[in-house]
Each structure stands twice: as structure tokens, then as C-alpha cells.
Amino acid sequence: MNNYFITQKPYSIYHRKESKVIGLVNKALRRFKTGLHIKPLDVTVDMNTVEQRINYYHLLDGVIAYGIPGDVVELGSFTGQCAILFQKVIEQNGSDKQLHLFDSFHIPFAFKGNVEDELKENFKRAGLKQPIIHKGDFKETLPAQLPNQVAFLHIDCGFGGDSLAHRDVLLHCLESVYSRMPKNAVCVLMDYYDPEENPEGLDINPGVKLAFDIFFKDKPEKIVALFGEMYNHAYFRKV
């Protein structure tokens, strides 16, 4: 069992060759023993970084290893670049947890083809069991179609635009799922950004932190910011 797959197709699609200039710079950095290494960054295809996938792997693997009851849920799946990793970890561990994906599959930006079909095809390419798909607006599918218990949750429903509208969507997600999370269940929040933790980070979807601060104002859970290279995310563990 290993996690090498996170850098391989179809878990990682985008493979950018280093330019000669970058190669020469890295050679010089090694020669002078700087301990530094530069690399090109582009997550426009994968939609997440290698560092984020490493975090997903260990968090879900831990939930399974410690026997936290419940299924695995993702709110906002797009073409499944995170979801196929979740299913891979489930199958590697021989777990009977089910993977539930919630998405409207209506993408407000240009995308060639059918998003839901592409997601299913990615699972097929990876040789993985197809997930349970809940198609529709979150207001219609949550909490009605959620499993009774959720051991691991990934929320990635950023859509840009109005941060207050995004905040309200996140609040609905948290209100729907929180009570179904048993003790020590894990929830990962994509795009959670705290400038005090990472002053140089990118605040892509500020509605995430706005929602967390409101919902957890009177709750014991604490947020843990995670390094994700150019993207931000964080998690909390149910108390």
C-alpha cells in the first residue's frame, strides 16, 4: 500500500515538462547548496495540488484506520479529481464505506462536454467502483439525501462571485452535515484562507472562512490550516 498514485494519471492529469531555464536554475541552486528547488505551478486541469492530495490521503486513511463510523461525502465534485482519490483510499484499505458525491453539475464557466459523464469516465479510467451520485441543488439534496453518518467530508463548492452568497451555501452545507458527523469525523474545507496563518496566500473564496466563523462561534471544534502550495484548505475534527 502506498500513495504514489497521487502524482499519476488519472489522479494527476497535468504533467508539465521543466524548461531548460528552470533546469539550469535548479542545477545552480543544488551546486551552491541552497536547499531550494523551483518548479512550475499549474493546477488548471487537476483543480488541486499534489500537497493537497497528500493531505486528503492521510486524513481519510486515518479516519478509516481508526474505525470512525459513517460514509465518505463530497459536496462539490466537478469531474472527480478529488473523489477518485477518496475512492482509491477506501479500496486500498478494503473498507466498506460508500462514497457519496453531491453536485448540480452545472458549471458557470466554459467546459467542453458533460461534467457528470467526465466524472464517471475518470472513475472508469482508474478502475474504481462508481460513486453514489446525488445530482441537484444543495438546497434540494441536503440534508435529505445524506447518509445517516458521515465519517469524512470534503466541501468544495466555490463558484466565485459574491462572497456572501458563497457563505450562505457553506452555512447550509455545515448545518446539514454537522449533526451526522460522529466523534473524530473529519471535514476538509477547500479554499479556507486565514491571512494570519498564511499572509502570502490567495483568498479565492472568502465565503468559506466567513461561514466557518459564524457556524462554529459557539462550538468546540477548531480549524487546522493545511499547506497546499498555491491553494488553501483546512480541516476540523468533530469533538
Instruction: Report the distance separating Cα 120 and Cα 113, nearest Å.
Output: 13
- What rounded mean pLDDT belongs to the chain? 88
The span from the CA of 18 to the CA of 143, in Å, is 46
Element at 74 (helix H, strand E): strand 71-75
CB 165 within 8 A of CB 206: no
- In which band, very low, low, confident or very high, does the pLDDT at 41 lie, cut at 50, 70 and 90? very low
155-213 pLDDT per residue, tens? 998 776 789 999 999 999 999 999 999 999 999 999 998 888 777 777 888 999 999 99
CATH number of the domain at 46-237, out of 3.40.50.300, 3.40.50.880, 3.30.420.10, 3.40.50.150?
A: 3.40.50.150
Q: Please report the pLDDT score of residue 84 as a whole number.
A: 96
Query: Residue 140 pLDDT > 70, yes or no?
Result: yes
| CA 204 – CA 157 distance, rounded (Å) | 12
* CA proximity to 120, closest of 93, 84, 75: 84
Which residues are CB-contacts of 44 (< 8 A; sequence separation ≥ 6)? 14
pLDDT of 44 above 70:
no
pTM attached to this predicted model? 0.86
Coil, strand or helix at 231: coil
Say whether pLDDT at 42 is over 80. no
Residue corresponding to grid cell 480549524: 223
Contact criterion met (CB below 8 Å) for 223 and 192: yes
**Could you read off the pLDDT of 120-134 as tens digits, one per residue?**
999 999 999 999 999
Cα–Cα distance, 162 to 15 (Å, whole number): 33
CA-wise closest residue to 40 among 53, 26, 22: 22
- The ranges assigned to domains in the chain are 16-44, 46-237
